[in-house]
Amino acid sequence: MVPFRMRPMNPPVTSWAGRRVWIIGASSGIGAATARLLRQHGARLALSARSGAALHDIANELANDLASETATDQPHGVTILPLDVTDAAAVIEAAQTLRRLWGGIDLVLFAAGVYQPMRAQDIDPVAAGAILDTNVKGAYNVLGATVPMLRAQGQGAVALVASVAGYSGLPKALAYGPGKAALINLCEALYYDLHPAGIGVYLISPGFVATRLTAANDFTMPALITAEQAAREIVRGIEGGEFDIHFPKRFSRMLKLLRLLPYRLYFPALRRITGL
C-alpha cells in the first residue's frame, strides 16, 4: 500500500545549482550557515548585513576572495551588498542592483534579526522599538523591494526567519516574541496572495540556536542546536516545498501543542519548562 502524502504547499527545489539566492542577515548565525550550505550546493549567492567586514570574511571563505569593497559578481560567485534593513531606500537600491546583475531573484531569505532579553520590570521602549524596527519593519522593507520583482517574474520565493518564540508569550521575550509573532502572521497572509501568483512562501521557525544572540540568555535553552543544524533544516524544508519549517521538531511540536491549552494550564506548564 502506497503511503498517503500531502501535496507540498510550495514547489519543491530539486537542484540549487545556479539558483539566485539573496540572504539578508548573512554575516553570522543562521544566515551565514545557510549561505555556506547553499554555496556547497551550487547556489549563486548575494549576502547582505550591516557589517560589510563580516560579509567580506564569509565571501572570502565561500568564493576564494571574490568579494570587493563594492558590489561585485562573478560566474557562480558571491555578491556583497552591505545594508541596514531599517533603511528602506538602501534595501530598494540593493534589490535593483541584483536585478541588474542577475536579471532576477529565485529566493529571498530574510534572516536578519536582533534580540535582547526583556521582562516587564525592565521594559525599555527604545530598545523594544529597535528590535521591532529590524525584525518586523526590516522584513516589510525587504518584501516591498522584492515582491514586485518576483510577481513580474512570475516565479521565485520569499522565506522569513521567525521563531518558535512567536507561537505564544514566553518569559524574557517581551519585544522579541511579539515581533516574531508578527512575522508568522505576515507569512500566512503572504501565502494567500503569492501562492496563486506562482511565488513560494516559507515560514521558518527555529527553536533555540547557538548564536551570538542566544549567548545573551542566562537560562537553560531546551533542545539547543547549532547554526549548521538549523541551516540543514531550512534547506531541507525548502527543498521539500514546506510552508511551515519549524525545528527541532521535539521542541517546536511541544510548543505548538502547549499553545492549544487553556491559559490556566498554559502558564504553569511554561513556568515548569523554562524555570522562569
CATH number, domain of 171, equals 3.40.50.720
pLDDT given at position 216: 67
Helix (H) and strand (E) counts in the chain: 9, 9
Structural domain contains residue 201: yes
Structural domain contains residue 10: no
What is the average pLDDT value for the chain, to the nearest integer? 90
Structural domain contains residue 65: yes
How do residues 97-133 score in pLDDT, each as one tens digit?
Answer: 999 999 999 999 999 999 998 999 999 999 999 999 9
How do residues 35-83 score in pLDDT, each as one tens digit?
Answer: 999 999 999 999 999 988 999 898 888 865 444 434 444 444 799 999 9
pLDDT given at position 6: 82
Tally of structural domains, the chain:
1
CA 204 to mean position of chain CA atoms: 6
Asked if residues 119 and 172 have their Cβ atoms less than 8 Å apart, the reply is: yes
Confidence of residue 91 (pLDDT cuts 50, 70, 90): very high
How do residues 139-167 score in pLDDT, each as one tens digit?
Answer: 999 999 999 999 999 999 999 999 999 99
Structural domain contains residue 43: yes
Judged against a pLDDT cut of 70, whether residue 95 lies above it is answered with yes
Q: Report the run of H or E that residue 209 belongs to, with start and end.
A: strand 209-210
Which structural domain range is residue 74 located in?
20-274
